[in-house]
Each structure stands twice: as C-alpha cells, then as structure tokens.
Structure 1
Amino acid sequence: MTASDSRRYDVVIVGGGHNALVAAAYLARAGRRVVVIERSDAVGGAAVSERPWAGVDARLSRYSYLVSLLPQRIIDDLGLRIELRRRRYSSYTPDPTDPTRGVLVDTRDAEATAASFARTLGDTHEAARFAAFGERLAPVARAVFPTMAEPLPTSDELRERVGDDELWDALTTRPLGDLLRSSLDSDLVRGVALTDGLIGTFASSDDPSLTQNRCFLYHVIGGGTGDWDVPVGGMGAVTAELERAAREAGAEIVTGVEVVSVSPDGDVHTMTDRSEVFRGDLVLSGVGRAVLDRLLTAGGSSTTGAEAPEGAQVKVNMLLSRLPRLRDESVTPEAAFSGTFHVNETMTQLDAAHVAASGGLIPEPLPVEVYCHSLTDPSILGEELRASGAQTLTMFGLQVPHRLIDDTDPVAAGARLLAAAQASLDSVLAEPLRDCILRAPDGRLCIEARTTRDLEESLAMIGGDIFHGALSWPWLSAPADSPAARWGVSTPHARILLCGASAQRGGAVSGIGGQNAAMAALEILGG
C-alpha cells in the first residue's frame, strides 16, 4: 500500500448520520482533524428530506419527522440556524367503538379539552386525571433532560433530583401498564399514553423487559417538557445545518464511499474503485452496533457482542389534494391532523396487536398514528401545491416487528402493511383516504410505505430498528472510571467509540450521541 492510499486523522467517523455530523462539528471546532465517511451520496441518514414522487414539488421528511430531544445547548454551541415550531393540538383520538366522537387535546384551551373528554368518555374527571398524570411526569423531564448532554449521572442522583420515589420506581422497576392503570381510568386515554412507549419498539404494556418504559421515558423528557416539535423546512433542513456547521468548522466529509472493515487500532478500510485506509487515533461509530460488529469481524477482531436488533414500525408518507373529512363532525380535520392523530390505539388494542404480531400476523386493526407536517410548516410544499390546498400526511404503524416483513416476498408484505394502515385510518374517516391522495404526473398515487426492510436496505439499519438496538436507561448504576464510559459511548475497544443511536443515550433526532462522543474523544485526546 502506498502513502497515497492511507490518510491520517485524529478522529475517523464511520457513517454520516446527524449524530456523526454533530460529533464532527464539535471535534473540528476544537481543532481536531476529523473525517466523516458516508456510503450514500449525501449525509443525514434517517434525518433527511426527499422528493419521493417525480415531478411533485414536495420535500418530505422521509424517515424521521419530529424533533424533541435535540438540546438547545447543541443548537447554540454549533450555531445552528434551525426553527422548531410547536403544535397547538397535542393529539386527537377518536373512539374506535364510535368514531363520531373523539378526544381532542388543545394545549391552548383547557376547557375545550375537558369538554372533549367528557363528550367522548362520559366521564367529567378523566381530563383532570390526564392533566395530573402529565404534571406528575414533569419533574422527571426537568431532572433527566438537562443531564443528557453531560457525563452520565447515577440512578441514585437522578432519583433524588426527581423527588418522587414512588413514581421513580413505577417508571424504572415495574411495567408501564401498572402506572397507566393506576393513573388513568379510560382504556382510550391509557392507550394515548402507552403509544409513547411503543414508537419503534415491540412490547406490550406489561412487558417484563421494560422496553416500553425506556421508550416512554425518552418520549416524555424531550426539551424538559416532553413536547415534540416540527422542524421548519423538514428534517433535511436540520441535516443541512449540521453539515454546514461541520464543514465550516473544518471537518472533511466523504460521501459515496463504503467502509468495509474497522480495526481496534484505528484503521478504517474503505472500498470504491480502489481500496483506501483512513487511520485515526480514535474511530467513532455512527452506525448501529450490529453494523459495527460486522465491520470489526471483517477486520479480524472481536465484536461488541450486540444482539440482533428488530424494528417494529411502518411509516407511510403521502401527499393529499386535501385533508379527508372525519366521522366526528365536532372536530375539524385541520385540528385533528395537526397534532398526533391516534387511530385504534386503545391500551387493549395495542396489547392485542402485540399478541397478534407475536403470532406472525399483521394486527387487525393496525394501530396507527397520523400527523400533517404541512399544516404547521407549509414551506415543504411548492407554491402551486400550497395554493391548491394540498397537504402532506404521515402514518406511523405500531406493533409490526421486522419478522412480519422478513420473508421471501418483502414487496408483498409491505403492500399488506400499507393496506392495513389505510384500512385502519379509513375506519374513522367519513370518506376513503384513497379519494384524497394526489397523483403524480406519471399517474402514480403519491403514497409510499417505508418498512423495516426498506430501512435495512436503504439506510443499513439492521432489522429496520430506528434505535439501532434496545434503548438504554440514561444513567449509570455506579460512577464510571473512563471518559467513554462516563459519556455512555464505550465499546470493548478503547480506540472505538459509539457516536450514533447505539450510544447509551442514543435514539431519535437529538445529536446527543454525537455530542457525547465528541466530549469523550476530546477528553481522551487531551483537548
């Protein structure tokens, strides 16, 4: 191998997702020589905007679509010019037994919210119980979220900060279902809360693994409030700002180059038209643990021992000529679709869907939640589409593990999931969804399903797992003795750190994994 075939850096980052860009920006700003290597032709990973339909001027957040966990500290540190817009309506949930009525949570009108609860449930107190549940969780968000961009605290430290031992134990030691049953009376409202524990995970409310509890915690702590905001310009606007920050800081970004192996001594082998080696004092892995293990194996070294991940969602993107009419005439489509629209997501339905999927069946009805980005941020649509009244719509199907689509005909399996999602939403509409879907110039309907198989093939997410593996509690049981362990980014190899969703505080569009890895790397490198 000649000298030209090898490049030397302080840090080599494998994978160009949003966390990798965050890490690169921090490291370059600290004066470190850093390179990001991405196999695709563009960076961003799952945090990108694309035009799925030829000739249609709509840039959709094709995979990730909302932002909650991105700390203001990262935005300020990196000088990111991004706008996150708050949604007025938190959620709308029609009663599956009678879709002519539903619960609308209006963050600006508590009386209207209470009236909606009473009209739908026949219970004048459930709205107050729901509000009290949120208020009880608020100290957890305020205690945990500020620590996400700091060295990991211990569980005892966080328990003391929360100041509610009973709640802490309910969240961290017992299945989430217990807490929901003791806090809320309605099966419908319990389901609204439970969905925060099931996005991208496969579990029941009483799963003893507490997978649902960890997912729930990450959903309710974002920003210290639990709010999920709309990125103006779409998710691609967030990635574009991160790429700008990294490049302007001096990071090198290489796209269209595939990493084929990684060694514990810092050698990252790539292959395009010829083999090349990028050598780093440290290697940061922005890919999932399972992918990193494959690269380590190819490099002839021991792996991290990651378990095979399995995603559990289907995302449906579509463009409509107009929003469909609801069977519930007391709520406008604009209000219902601007927040999270829960369909067939009572607690009983969610648990039944888990049982069905565990048996190899697509749940019927399929629990789905729906949201319209363009109501809050119309900038993702071209002028003509905006003028015509067109709207985007995103459906996210729950309790559909990768095993349901990992068969000999993934295209057919994806079509079945799409049909199930449409049928579920149709059950609460006053007209078929299909009648509102726009057609592209080539005659195709502007609707697509992105399954776990699609994520595996297009983004190299093994098993289509959006979290790159099971989420971890964002704390330690005891103080750590190394920078990598303190920041939750360690691997069995001292010179390889995690910087993506596989990091201890990874998951969602947050940049936390990247920031944590950069802080650990600077400690190790001495700067």
Structure 2
Amino acid sequence: MPHDVVIIGGGHNGLTAAAYLARAGLDVLLLERDDHLGGAAVSADAFEGVDARLSRYSYLVSLLPKRIIDDLGLDVRLVRRRYSSYTPDPVDPERGLLIDREAGAGPDSMGSLVAAFARVGAEGDADAWNDFYADTARLAETLFPTLTEPLPTRAEARALVGDDAVWASFIDEPLGRTIDARFTSDLVRGVVATDGLIGTFTDLDDPALDANRCFLYHVIGGGTGDWDVPIGGMGAVSGELTRAAREAGAELITGAEVLAVDPDGRVRYRLGEGEGEHEVTAGTLLSNVAPAVLDRLLAVGTADADARAASSAIAPRDQPPFSPDGPLDVPPVVRERLRQLAAPEGAQVKVNLLLTRLPRLRDASVAPEAAFAGTFHINELESQLSSAYATAARGGIPSPLPCEIYCHTLSDPSILSPELAASGAHTLTVFGLHVPHRLLERFSNDELRSQLQAAVLASLNSVLAEPIEQVIATDAAGRPCIETKTTLDLEEALRMPGGNIFHGPLSWPWAEDDASLASPAERWGVATRHPRILRCGSGAVRGGAVSGIGGHNAAMAVLEASVVA
C-alpha cells in the first residue's frame, strides 16, 4: 500500500509540510538521513562538557510567518532585539554607528538618529536612512503576505507595491547603484549592503541582481524586516515542528539515507548500518533536499527503473535532460569540472564561540552589552566589501575579512545553564562574508578552516580593546570553545551543495508574467519537471532561510491537487 506522501529530508520545511499534510488526514512518511530532525535549524552542545546549547547553523528568525505558527499551534517565542546594529569605523575604531530602536521611537527620534550618524561623520545620511527603510517597509508590508499564497505574477507584485520608483530602485537596478545614489558615507553604504551579500557571492553592481534578491528576502520578513531571536535557540523551532508533525500522525524516520528517487513515486533508502535497503512508494514525493541533490537521486532512480525495464523487456524511459552527473562519455576530470561549475556555491564561514564575558571595545562610548545586542558589523565598509569580493574572485582570502556578529545570550540566556549564565558567559556567532566554496580548489578543508578562523579572530581584534582570545572559554578538556564551519563542512553535515545556505540561487518571490501557472505545483512555486515530485525546501520559489514557507506551499499544492482530482 503506497503512502500518500513521502518527504525526503527532515529539515524544518519537511517537518512543516508533514505537519500540514498529516493534519489533513494524509498518510505521510518522512525520511531523514541524520539521527535527528531539524536540518540546519538545530541546537547543539558544541563544546565538550559545557552546558551551552548553541544554534549551530541557522541562528535568527525573520521569514517564519505567524500564519504557520498559528496554523500548527507552535509554541515558538521570538524576542525583538532593542539594538538593530553597531558598526565600528574601521578607519577609527574608537567611534562607531549604533542604531538604537528605542531612541528611534522617542519624541526626539530624528535628533537621536542624526547624533548617532554624526559620531561617524555621516549626519547627512540620517534622513536618507529613514527614507530608504521606509521604502523597504513598503516592500515588506505588501510582499510578505504573498509568500504563503499562490505566486503572484511580476506585474501583480509590482501593482501590490504600488510605487514605481521603489520597484525600480530595489528590483530593476543593481543594489549597489541604488545604495550609492542614496548614501554618501562608505560606512553607511556598507551597513545597508550586507543584507544583499549574506550567503551570496556577488558584486553589488552585478546586473544579474543576485544581491537584490538576497536583499529583498532580508528586508521583508514578518512584514517588517525585523530579525528576531528564538527563545531556546533554533532547536526550539524545529522541536515544535517535530511535535506538531508527530501529533498530527506523520511517521518520521531518522537514520534513513535516501539512495534513489523514481519519477513514478519510488524511493529507495538505507536504514542504519547493516539493516539493508528498503523501498517505498507514494502518490506524491516532496523533496526537502537541494535541487542538485534531488537531481542526483533522480539519476540513480532513473537508472534503477531502466534496469527493471530491461529485465522485463520493457522499453526504457526517456533520459532526463543533460546533467554534469549524467552518463556522458567524457573524461572523469572534465565531468567533475562541469559538475563543479553547475553546482551551487556558498560563500561564508560560520564561527561559534563561547566567551567568559563580553570583550571591551575600542569605542569606549558604547557598552559591549549594547554593541553586541544587535548585528555587529566589522570591516564592512562598502569599499571593503568590494575589495573582499575582488580578492576572493581571484582565489584569495580577504584581509581584513568582512564579518557580522550576533550574541544570542544577550536576548535569551536560556540556552546556557543557570550557573554558566550567572558567571557572565556569552555566546557569539560570527558570519564571515566573501569566502566562496571555490577556495577549496587551492586549500584543503583543514587549511581553509584554520586560515578562516584566524581571519575571523583578526577581524574581531581590529575593533576590540583586548584580544578576543583572552575571553574565549575552555571546554572540559581545556580546549578553546571555538567552532568553525566552512562551506565544505556544511556540505558534508547538511548535504548543502557547495555549502550554499539557500540550496542554490534565490528566486524572486513571484512568477514571471509568461510563466506557466497551470498546475497547483506551478502556482505555489514548488514544481519540478516531474508531476509527482514537488520541492518543499529552500530550493522552492520563495525558499531560503528558516521560514517553513517551502513546506507550507508544497503542502498547499498537494492539498489543492487532491481537491481538484
């Protein structure tokens, strides 16, 4: 008896889809390769003998809609950070730009903002800042609600925004051109620009507009663009989704490595060591793995089907379109290079630290508790971002390395034991930009990890009044509590090709005007070339980040198709 739905991958999107579909009465089986559920949205004891549950990969929430939280009855609590960001001036680290939300809400909000900008010689950009983010607020309030609805067309999305100048600035023109036209300060330009570069290796002026798409998703979350801290860490989010799926009746199997997928609904998987292979079938398959991973599974599944057909004297199916992993008669070295060129590419390094206390800043006018409470930008002048991109494109490691820091424990100390929290300890998450996966062509992963960790610490130290090494805690074995994850580490741990945190290039959150929207899967942005296989993860249209949107939309497409049928 086939299942109604088999979901490949137990990340947060797969769990979201499982919960919706099981609640609708469908027979749902979810297969997860790892020994736990949640994918990148997990919390972990990263350091031996230290009672600190870190959000190891994903760390903030912006795009998770309240609709999903309410629909599934999730006990997910999010806290808004008072401080938006702090950016020390790399030219003079004894001064910096602190964006305080509370100061911006008072009767003298404009005066407070001008004063903050004046500290870095950018008082003339204060009005531009307000105007710029009023425009992004317009995008957020009009576009975010569409993410859990059938895809609008480009023309419909533009009509919803209702402002041709805003549309042109953020959708039609390269992001760098828009930023340069509206701000004069190199520092302010850099603070704005980083939202277009997180996890995306591109130049701000590239006409391909990859930075624009990345920027758009960063500023529309929740209808406000705010990035919130999940109480209890990211594991609390995936834990609630797991509970909702299980209580709804979905069968969730861990330790199940999917080996092959057939367009006719067959899934072959291996369950644990020495337990052999299993095969299940389903009316619909939902793929919560990266599109490139699905393609590989389909290539194996198609070969399996052809072998079955040959043994039964049935004509083999048509071969899928060309893939660098396909059975072409080309030298292996050429095939491997084609595969690398076609694969997604991440461009970041993630460093988790546990500190005995927050470090002192060279900017004595700002308390560390304020500076680290929002997003802490280091060496992210627009000119530094441009230089870092050029260096990395030539195969080098940028110096200084542009970095962003986030401190979970200033907003939510619950991820630490009471004793650890009382001691003054804090976690830091550092996200280094412009370190593309292609650097592994020059360095081994161990070499790259070591060099990137050193680059991150050096970038941090350039704005601190004391070396960060002096406040890094030690684990039970006396080792520094620092964990560095390269793109290859992400690929191996999470099956994200090239360490790309979005599973591939981001798409606009709408359909082009000439796109086919004939099927439910097409209307919801989850279609593949195979009618029985839908995307439900970050590779779907409007995928990316911890949002549950891919899972929600895949579930809606399945349910709509069942009603139509």
TM-score (norm 2): 0.90
Question: Which amino acid in 2 is paired with 1:395?
Answer: V
Residue 209 of structure 1 aligns to a residue whose secondary structure is: coil
Kept in 2, the 8 Å contact 1:316–1:448? The answer is yes
Offset of residue 302 of structure 1? 2.3
Q: Which residue of 2 aligns with 1:135?
A: 134
The equivalent residue for 2:352 is 317
Q: Match of 2:314?
A: none
1:169-228 CA distance string (max 9 Å, x none) = 222222101110111111111111110000100011101211000000000000010000
Residue 52 of structure 1 corresponds to which residue in structure 2? Answer: 46
Deviates more, 1:335-344 or 1:471-480: 471-480
Deviation at 1:465, TM superposition (A): 0.5
Contact 1:293 1:303 in 2 (8 A): no
Aligned to 1:290: 292
Residues 429-462 of structure 1 show CA distances to partners (whole Å, capped at 9, x for unaligned) of 0000000100011011000111101101111111
Deviation of 1:136 (Å): 1.7
State the partner residue of 2:5. Answer: 11
2:192 matched residue in structure 1: 193
2:488 corresponds to 1:489: no
The total of aligned residue pairs comes to: 520
Distance across 1 between alignment mates of 2:379 and 2:442: 26
Q: 1:92 aligns with which of 72, 86, 90?
A: 86
Q: Which residue of 1 aligns with 2:118?
A: 118
Q: CA RMSD in A?
A: 1.3
- Which amino acid letter does the alignment assign opposite residue 115 of structure 1? A
Give the direction of change, closer, same or farther, for the CA distance of 1:38–1:194 in structure 2 (3 Å limit). same
Alignment of 1:348-497 (within 5 A): 348-407=383-442, 409-478=444-513, 480-497=517-534
1:303, distance to aligned residue in structure 2 (A): 6.1
Larger radius of gyration: 2
Please give the per-residue CA displacement for 1:128-156, whole angstroms capped at 9, x wherever unaligned: 21111101221111111000000000111
Q: Secondary structure at the match of 1:504?
A: coil
**CA–CA separation in structure 1 for the residues paired with 2:48 and 2:458:** 26
Cα pair 2:395 2:442 within 8 Å, conserved: no
List gaps (5 residues or longer) in structure 1: 1-6
Distance in 2 between the 1:447 and 1:406 partners? 25
- For residue 514 of structure 1, what is the aligned residue in structure 2? 551
Structure 1 position 124, deviation (Å)? 2.7
Aligned-partner SS, 2:479: coil
Using the alignment, how far apart are the partners of 2:322 and 2:546 within structure 1? 24
| Greater mean deviation of Cα atoms: 180-189 or 503-512 | 180-189
Q: What is the letter of the counterpart of residue 472 of structure 1?
A: S
Q: Displaced runs of 4+ in structure 1, greater than 4 A?
A: 303-306
Counterpart for residue 148 of structure 2: 149
User: In structure 2, what is the Cα distance between the partners aligned to 1:444 and 1:405?
Assistant: 26
- TM-score for the superposition, normalised by structure 1: 0.97
How far off its partner does 1:492 sit?
A: 0.4
Question: Does the 8 Å CA contact 1:202/1:311 hold for their aligned counterparts?
Answer: yes
Query: 1:128 is aligned with what amino acid?
Result: D
Whether contact under 8 Å (2:405, 2:431) holds in the other structure is: yes
- SS of residue paired to 1:98: coil
SS at match of 1:248: helix
Tell me the amino acid that sits aligned with residue 290 of structure 2: G
Structure 1, residues 492-523: CA drift from partner, whole Å, max 9, x if none? Answer: 00000000000011000000000000000112
- Give unmatched runs, 5+ long, in structure 2: 105-110, 303-318, 325-341
Q: Does the aligned pair in 1 maintain the 2:232–2:414 contact within 8 Å?
A: yes
Letter in 2 for 1:302: P
Q: Is the 8 A contact 2:269 2:277 kept in 1?
A: yes
Name the SS for the 1:140 alignment partner. Answer: helix
2:8–2:285: 8 Å Cα contact kept in structure 1? yes
Amino acid across the alignment from 1:349 = Q
Amino acid at match of 1:434: E
Q: Distance in 2 between matches of 1:113 and 1:174?
A: 28
Contact 2:4 2:26 in 1 (8 A): yes
The alpha carbon displacement at 1:480 in A equals 1.1
C-alpha displacement at 1:405, in angstroms? 3.0
